Structure 1
Amino acid sequence: MIFASTLEASAKKDGFDWEPVMNAIIQIESKGNPMAVNGSYVGVLQISPVLVKECNNILKSSGSNKRYSLADRFNATKSKEMFVIIQSFHNPLNSVEKAIRLWSGGIRYNVSKTQAYLRKVMRLMN
């Protein structure tokens, strides 16, 4: 079972598409450069090693054999899969606001500290 693809198909079947959110975040994070590096954050979505580990933990708990490596962060398609995995697990109601705040501030994000990032992403989406 390829869990990430299943999640993406399920999200699309339910009428939800993360693509506009991801595309706006990609513009802010890396301007679309898959080789972008900022400290430990890399790729189009500026994914950290901690996020890769969280995705692998989610996959393992679901019984999936799929795993992501640190190198996968440089692959735009795999980065988007990881975004969807994080959202499906930590944001099951598909809240766009929560998705953006999660991406900016992590699982235990602070609303006030993620407000400027939320505004930037929303501006690009509109």
Structure 2
Amino acid sequence: MGRSQITFNKKERVKKQQQKRQQKQEKKELHKSDNNKGKALEEMFAYVDEFGNISNTPPEKKYEFKEEDLLRPTSDEDEYHHGKVSYYNNEGHYGFIRDNLTKQTVYFNDKIAGIVLRLDQHVKYKFIRTKQGNQISEVILS
């Protein structure tokens, strides 16, 4: 009786393996039919119309770029901002200045500032954008 049980389990395993192979082959054929290899570049393009909708046809009206479209807008990074030291870590000698208008914070440390700032001190500052976030470039006590 034990022996017929073993062969039954073996038959079931073989059957499952064959089903897996069949499913894998079907999946492979499905992927082959869905891929974009061999298609012309134009067939793979997607266009966006003036309303932001995606379509397969190129737009009828082309946008003519003007020179001012390519210029970057002037940033407010060149002017002084007014703020107050909202956080200061005495051990690390760094902190954050919160802008009075936008309420955004800007990182500083004593080396960059060139002076030692205190909590709740009012300052005028300029900042630059870095990978880590906004960081002061100049500070003046006000």
Q: TM-score, normalised by structure 2?
A: 0.18
Pick 1 or 2: higher relative contact order, CA cutoff 8 A, min separation 6.
1
Bigger Rg, which one: 2
Task: Decide which structure has greater helix share.
Answer: 1
Task: Decide which structure has greater strand share.
Answer: 2
